[in-house]
Amino acid sequence: MVKEFGLDWTFVIGHLNYWLFIILMMTGLYIVVAKGNLVKKIVGLNIFQTAVFMLYISVGKVKGGTAPIFPVDMNIDPDVLYSNPLPHVLILTAIVVGVATTSLGLALAVRIREEYGTIEEDSIQKIDRDTCLQDANLHSEVASEPR
């Protein structure tokens, strides 16, 4: 078995692609978690998503392979090595679904901005808390009124 933390260079080079994509993924996750702006969060989500796509596509790559498209005259040379077409199909679907979610998220951001006048997370929370407090005060006044 390979030495996992030693200087096994084939192992390191063979896994470098996964590690780079994971770093990219974590960049996206950091944006989602740490940034307060809703549009920025959606951009972070997109970066995360693209990193996952890259991971899948790199799993489907075969060394020395070519794009999985036959010649137009359908004279198939059996010696030609093709990369795995299945991840490509899955990721095609995922990209389109990703755009659908992005557009929905952005529409929500527009709607929130309309209602609250801001798209910063902490201001929205503050406004929410204030409304709750006002509500609670109002109701307690109503409840404590003598009948």
Partner 1 sequence: MLTALAVVRAQSLFATAMLSGAFSLLSALLFVTLDAVDVAFTEAAVGAGISTVLMLGTLALTARFERPATHSPVIPLFVVFVTGAALIYGTLDMPNFGDPNAPAQVHLAPDFIQNSPHEIDVPNIVTAILASYRGFDTLGEVAVVFTAGVGVLLLLSGLRHRRRRQGKEDS
Nearer to partner 1, 86 or 133 (CB): 86
Interface with partner 1 (CB under 8 A), residue from 93, 143, 145, 147:
93
Interface with partner 1 (CB under 8 A), residue from 7, 9, 96, 124:
96
Nearer to partner 1, 14 or 137 (CB): 14
- Identify whether the C-beta of residue 43 lies closer than 8 Å to the C-beta of residue 27: no
- Pattern of binders to partner 1 over 2-41, x per CB under 8 A? --x-----xx-xxxxxxxx-xxxxxxxxxx-xxxxx-xx-
8-state DSSP, 127: H
What secondary structure does DSSP assign to 84-113, as a single string? -HHHHHHHHHHHHHHHHHHHHHHHHHHHHH
CA dist 31 and 29 (Å) reads 5
Instruction: Give the count of residues interacting with partner 1 (CB under 8 A).
Output: 87
What secondary structure does DSSP assign to 4-41, as a single string? SSS--HHHHHHHHHHHHHHHHHHHHHHHHHH--BHHHH
Does 67 contact partner 1 by CB under 8 A?
Answer: yes
Of residues 106, 144, 109, 112, the one with CA closest to residue 128: 112
Does 125 contact partner 1 by CB under 8 A?
Answer: no
Binding span for partner 1 by CB under 8 A among 90-98, 129-137, 139-147: 90-98
Interface with partner 1 (CB under 8 A), residue from 6, 7, 9, 69:
69
Nearer to partner 1, 128 or 135 (CB): 128
